[in-house]
Amino acid sequence: MARMSTTIDPFHDQTFHAVQARDGHRSGVDAILLAAIVPPDTLGRVVDFGAGSGVAGMAVANRCSRASVDLVESDPAMAALARQGVALAENDHMAKRLKVIDADVTSSGQQRREAGLLDDCYDVVIANPPFNDRGFRPSPNTLKAAAHMMEEDLLENWMRTAAAVSRPSGRLFMIMRPQNLRELLDALVGRYGAISIKPVHAKSNKPATRILVSAQRGSKTPLRLLEPFTLHQDSGAFTIEADIIFRGRAGFDLVSA
Amino acid sequence: MARMSTTIDPFHDQTFHAVQARDGHRSGVDAILLAAIVPPDTLGRVVDFGAGSGVAGMAVANRCSRASVDLVESDPAMAALARQGVALAENDHMAKRLKVIDADVTSSGQQRREAGLLDDCYDVVIANPPFNDRGFRPSPNTLKAAAHMMEEDLLENWMRTAAAVSRPSGRLFMIMRPQNLRELLDALVGRYGAISIKPVHAKSNKPATRILVSAQRGSKTPLRLLEPFTLHQDSGAFTIEADIIFRGRAGFDLVSA
């Protein structure tokens, strides 16, 4: 295998680092926002679905000192990057609480369990489903219906697996695009309740570019739409609140908010 | 029939009035917010589903001087109040553009057409579905599943009728509670697209109490989550923006926003 050109990137004010491909998908804002909604006092086991190079899961481990985090990734090259990241000297303070699992979140129960992703054992599932780079855009071409169906299937499969690996009353935290809101809500029905949605706006006067989602396994509490979060000031600089989040100094409370 | 005790209530800075039952459901904030998302340059025919005493539909007629509005109400007592309201001298400036139709939005196509609610003839449908006073709350009692199902059916039936009476590319505007978001999105699938959702917060730091929704018949444009609107300042007084809306001096643009 040709050696991939990589970079070592700092996060949370350089309190942890990740190894990322120079030319591939690079994590940043979404992964750190996702980790920011996991309560810092989280105890027990967390699993990061589709972890990629592991930024979101490592950010959770960095924020939640009493949680262990399993990074689940089906792409061997990405899983290798995640393992390199976990092994960095800069991450020694949390390396014992991190593990990379080579598994496909969408695979069947038996395959998934054999890969090490077991039923009924996680207190928290986090997920940043891979819609963002696949270009879900309205277009008249014939691929559209098929692409859309694939997305519905992916969310349905991810939420089925999330429910299966979750302990009773376990929490789910996600970041995704608002345009897939219906597919998400349909995939959560009968599995998760207490759904809280926090819109994320790049600019305060533009439509939301992301939603942060919290849910609880088996809950019957109705859906809530929380006050939004804005990333950028009019000048283009990050808002004070965003800056604090990216430095790893604070999070969002979607659970009790 | 015993004569109902009524009041004559001013709206939009006393530029129109409605007749409401003293002890029954009284319209106010929701009806005026709903009317505020109908573009003031709307041409053609508007229909108000479940119009009650007609406040939302009359507010649309007051804002949109080139639109005619049909107020559809199945409860004869409410329809009578709406007729009294339309006939008030204070509403002379728009009475010719208002008509009350005694029809049940949920009834079958043939019944509905016989009642005067015809297919394919409205440019705009507005709706404030009657969930608000039925108490959709999480509770362990056995009525909950049945009540929830009824709500899903109601939204499905209302959206089926909205699509049937709408012209091609017609607009839909609604106000409802956030907790029924999934049921709404499911009812819109295959009928309406270009869904824009504007959260309404009573206070800026609390979860949204309502959502304003815009959609277009047959559109494939993806869902958008717009910047929120806040009703009250921390002091409890209306925000400047809310005050302007209630005075009928401005609206929200959910269509091109």
Q: Is the pLDDT of residue B250 over 60?
A: yes
* B223: nearest CA partner in chain A: A179
ipTM above 0.85, yes or no: yes
* Average pLDDT score over residue span B117-123: 96
Of the residues A181, A197, A220, A252, the best mutation for testing chain B's interface (the one with the most B CB atoms within 10 Å of its CB) is A181
In this structure, CATH architecture of domain B6-246: 3-Layer(aba) Sandwich (3.40)
Indicate the pTM of the whole model.
0.91
**What percentage of chain B reaches a pLDDT higher than 90?**
84
Q: Which residues lie across from A173 on neighbouring strands?
A: A126, A214
pLDDT at B27: 79
Contact B178 A224 (CB under 8 A): yes
Q: Do A138 and B222 touch (CB under 8 A)?
A: yes
Tell me how crowded residue B139 is: count the other CB atoms within 10 A of its CB. 11
The reported pLDDT for the residue numbered A2 is: 56
pLDDT digits 0-9 by tens, A115-135: 999 999 999 999 999 874 444
- 8 A C-beta contact, residue A98 and residue A57: yes
pLDDT at B134 over 90: no
Across chain B, mean pLDDT equals 91
pLDDT for the residue B196:
98
Whether residue A93 contacts residue A64, with contact meaning beta carbons closer than 8 Å, is answered with: no
- Using the CB atoms, write b or e for B88-118: b if 16+ within 10 Å: eeebeebbebbbbbbbbbbbeeeebeebebe
Superfamily assignment of A28-246 in CATH? Vaccinia Virus protein VP39 (3.40.50.150)
What are the boundaries of each domain within chain A? 28-246
pLDDT of A9 over the 80 cut: yes
Instruction: Go through A156-172 and write b for each residue having 16 or more CB atoms within 10 A of its CB, e for each that does not.
Output: bbbbebbbbbbeeebbb
Average pLDDT over all residues of chain A: 91
CB distance B223–A138 less than 8 Å? no
Q: Which of residues 200-239 of B touch A (CB under 8 A)?
A: 201, 204-208, 211, 220-228
Inter-chain contact A227–B222, Cβ cutoff 8 Å?
Answer: no
pLDDT, tens only, B6-64? 999 999 999 999 999 988 777 789 999 999 999 999 999 999 999 999 999 999 999 99
Beta bridge partners of B212: B175, B198
Q: Is the pLDDT of residue A141 over 90?
A: no
In this prediction, residue B178 carries a pLDDT of: 96
Nearest residue to A66 (alpha-carbon basis) of A124, A127, A17, A11: A124
DSSP state of B131: T
Q: Looking at beta carbons, which residues of chain A come within 8 Å of B227?
A: 201, 204-208, 228
A222 to B185: CB separation less than 8 angstroms, yes or no: no
